[in-house]
Amino acid sequence: MQTAIVIIYTLALTVIFLYSLAQLNLLLNYLKAKKKKDDAPVFDFSKAEEIPFVTIQLPLYNELYVVERLLENISKLDYPKDKLEIQVLDDSTDESLQTTRNTIEALQAAGIPIQHITRSNRKGFKAGALKEGLAIAKGEFIAIFDSDFVPNSDWLQKTVPYFKDEKIGVVQTRWAHLNRDYSLLTKIQAFALDFHFVLEQVGRNFGHHFINFNGTAGIWRKTCILDAGNWQGDTLTEDLDLSYRAQLKKWDFKYLEDVETPAELPVAISAARSQQFRWNKGAAENFQKLYGKLLKDPTVSFKTKFHSFFHLLNSSMFLLVLLVAVLSVPILYIKNNNPAYSWYFNVIAGFAISTVIFFGCYWVTYKRIHGGGIKNFFKYIGMFFTFFSVAMGFSVHNSLAVLEGHFGKKSEFIRTPKFNISSLSNQWKSNIYLKKCLSKNMILESLLFLYFGFAIYSAFLVNDFGLILFHLMLFAGFGFVAFKSIFSRI
């Protein structure tokens, strides 16, 4: 039994270390990218003949609190009205349907080229709605925004020109956060998303590795979508799926770090959990669906295959972290009961370099968003350890999502409740889309909170404090997630 624990623990640490090396390589790519001038060809919008027709798709499903803000915002985008159409792809089944209808009628009366498209069923969920809208779209390019996004008026002016290069299939922009500082939960989510949208996306794009359209705040070439096999609803992350299929078809993606698209972060932990579940399960589903094809493609470089492996298995790191966390307690006792193997434990202590790598990578991202300096560095240290504590607290929830994805268990596309927090303040607690129920995950998270409390006690029991910081972070993380989840549901 001890041998099995040690082997699994070591393998998990090894894969996490390899993942950290992939992130380190992306960091180096990012730093190189910042030194390179972007000389990509662009359309000249001073010439009317170079302004292409664009379709904007707005997929909706029961968005009572944000739909008016979305439609009003999109109607103000600066683009010739004779070369623009807006499709509101509305699968709503509640009172928001009438709100949407009324708002669209008012915009149509004001001369906005907008149409309301509804369906009798939710076949394919978001992917199905996008696919049906695409079939009747007039635009050569298809911009997509989720309901909680509020792009700046010059968004199309900054993105569409890059399609001058006929190899470009997608232009993706960086998400910004309307309510970053609303709570600790929103700060943690922003911290994680900033890392993806700054270091990962830029690093992969600069290295000519596969990146992903993020489901919103980006724009597709219509022929790219069709060439790649169109939208498919067999995974929970249809955006990642289509992105990889398009790049396997040799389409290039363009990522614009300097173009921000503001959006709202979930303020309720239940909303964050549903979003995390969908993203993590969907990534695992796409690994099962696509990585074999990518691996067999002789035209894809080894380095891109390496990065794609960890890109598609990004969510699976939660499972490995959970294994390391749970096994670290018996490891503590094994270490102290087997002094002859002290050399082994000295060796695996070297895996702490992974944490150092992550610390450096996240600091570069944090500095990009918040600026450098001693004051911000100390703020960053607190945020780094807080983020990793809470991320580990989500590891049970996210690991179960990953396992479902890998083993092919299908589930419904669960939308993330939106709040329009800027106008509702704390009234989000009465949001009609929030569900009040306890789950088995929350009970397990509570038990792990106690388990890591025992781990801290064990450090004093065996007089070995090598893992106490790790166990303190796990204790705090599972405590935060468990109590926040339980008390928001009762």
Q: Which active-site residues does the annotation give?
A: 91, 239
Retrieve residue 468's tokens: 């106490």
CA distance 248 to 227: 11
Helix (H) or strand (E) holding 67: helix 67-74
Residue 37 amino acid letter: K
CA distance 15 to 362: 19
Choose among 46, 33, 52: nearest CA to 163. Answer: 52
**Which 3 state secondary structure label does DSSP give 32?**
helix
Choose among 435, 436, 416: nearest CA to 63. Answer: 416
**Which 3 state secondary structure label does DSSP give 273?**
helix
CA distance 402 to 283: 8
Whole-number CA gyration radius for the chain: 23
Q: Tokens 């009609």 label which residue?
A: 432
Choose among 133, 144, 149, 146: nearest CA to 170. Answer: 144
Contact 128, 231 (CB under 8 A): yes
Q: What are phi and psi of 319, to 5 degrees?
A: -65, -40
Q: Parallel, antiparallel, or unpaired for β 168-177 and 218-221? A: antiparallel
Contact 349, 9 (CB under 8 A): no
Tell me the helices (H) and strands (E) count for the chain, helix number first: 19, 7
Contact 455, 328 (CB under 8 A): yes
Retrieve residue 49's tokens: 């003949």
**Long-range interactions of 113-120: CB distance < 8 A, separation 24+:** 113/81, 113/84, 113/85, 113/86, 114/71, 114/75, 114/85, 114/86, 114/87, 114/88, 115/85, 115/86, 115/87, 115/88, 116/88, 116/90, 117/87, 117/88, 117/89, 117/90, 118/90, 118/91, 118/92, 119/91
Kindly report the number of other CB atoms within 10 A of residue 450's CB atom.
13
Packed helices 302-312 and 269-296: angle between N→C axes, nearest 10 degrees: 150
Retrieve residue 317's tokens: 């790191």
